[in-house]
Amino acid sequence: MLVKARQRHGYDLIVHVGLARYLENKQREEIRAYLLRERFIELSDGTVSNLCDRFLTYVEALHLARAPQLAASIHEQGGYPLHLDATNDRGKGGLFVCMDGFREWVLVSGRIPSEHEDHMRPMVERTAELFGDPLATVRDLGGAMARAV
């Protein structure tokens, strides 16, 4: 049960690699060196990257599965202000984040090709769909984001 059917790596390894990467800010080479030195597990850089991606996919699935419980908790405590932030890497796309401003919980996030309203609006709507209407909306002064809310 630790290894998904037709997969080579167990959930325990996926979690270990994901936590090392995203909570401990370790680079792929540091993760590879640790696993080889301490666990006698040899992985390529690409495999570490793939395991990191799988970790994020599983965390997202868990987050979405628990959205009703998170929403109930938010509303029991009086609601949430929706904080919106987008990053953009010089025309190469970026990341858009919808956060509960009281708890600093990321509610919905995703990659966006640009800060155009058409890319951000669906995530704002998805946030409201999953967690209810916010008490207020807080955003930076970006023009496209101002139109998305």
Residue 2: per-residue pLDDT? 67
Residue with tokens 């995530």: 123
Residue 37: per-residue pLDDT? 96
* Spans of the chain below 50 pLDDT: 143-148
Render pLDDT for 111-139 as a digit per residue (tens, 0 to 9).
Answer: 999 888 899 999 999 999 999 999 999 98
Residue 1: per-residue pLDDT? 65
Residue with tokens 């395991």: 51
pTM of structure:
0.78
Question: Distance (Å, rounded) from C-alpha 136 to C-alpha 62?
Answer: 27
54 backbone dihedrals φ, ψ, rounded to 5°: -65, -40
